[in-house]
Amino acid sequence: MNRFKKINDEHGHAQGDLALKAIANCLKESCIEKSDFIARYGGDEFVIVYKGNDVEDLCQRIHDSIQKLSFPFDLDVSIGCALYHKDMHKWSDWFIEADKRLYNEKKNLKGQ
């Protein structure tokens, strides 16, 4: 979730908690297959292991779902994706690639 600290600081932790729950529900609704895996990874980060083929469509569904939410502040997310390929010998290689892309997304967001 973008600007989570600002949400907590300006609107209180109760609103931040509600925002996290709303994001989690959007992720759950956006993942279609029961085999998809969603977990909260850190304060404002989530991980999805998506077994579908169209990652761009999943990202769009997530963004569309979040745009429908109503909060007294802007609520949006940055998404870092990594596709599994045979050169990845450990799950952490996959995760590190997605994490780098996430932080590039967040870095680009700060410039806007």
Q: Could you confirm whether 17 is annotated as catalytic?
A: no
44, 54, 64, 76: which one is catalytic? 44
List beta partners, residue 46.
Answer: 40
Neighbouring residues of 26: CB distance < 8 A, sequence distance ≥ 6: 62, 65, 66, 69
Which residues, including other chains, have CB under 8 Å from residue 22's CB and lie 6 or more apart? Answer: 66, 69, 71, 75
Tally the residues of the chain: 112
Task: Show which residues are catalytic.
Answer: 44
